[in-house]
Amino acid sequence: MIKVKDINFEELKIAIKNVFIDDKKILDFYDPSVKIKNIEDIINDISCKIKDYDKYEGDYGYVGLFYEKVLIGYYFYKEDMLVSFGINVKYRTKKYLDFLFNSIMNKLGNNFVCFLWLKNTRAAKWLIKNKMVIEFKNDKIIKLKLCQ
């Protein structure tokens, strides 16, 4: 059984590790402004970037995606912005990906945005498949919006 629940920052760090530890392709899609050597660098960088959001006022949350009792995914949002998300490679099937997106919509509603690095085509394609549209794009970033 799949379920979602709010998690704390320490659980979020575990979720980030669980999501990306076996993702051999993530190196191709990650932030081009960060010098990374391996997946551990990415895991640490994502955690640090998310922690930086604590400095800003506003509603935010960490949400874990669980299969049985195993933390298989997460998303982090700040007000009406999906900031970071992922699901473990083994669970990137239609069933689990649909559940993840529906969970995001249940939390953020039908009007939210997501900024991605332009090179993160994998995430952009998934969001577009889920009816998000490109609102802005330049040589570094892409802004997608869900507006239903």
Residue-wise pLDDT tens for the chain (148 aa)?
A: 899 999 999 999 999 999 999 998 998 888 888 898 998 999 999 999 998 887 777 889 999 999 999 999 999 999 999 999 999 999 999 999 999 999 999 999 999 999 999 999 999 999 999 999 999 999 999 999 997 7
Q: Per 3-state DSSP, what percentage of the chain is helix, strand, and coil (rounded to 5)? A: 40, 30, 25
CA separation for the pair 92, 126 (Å, rounded): 11
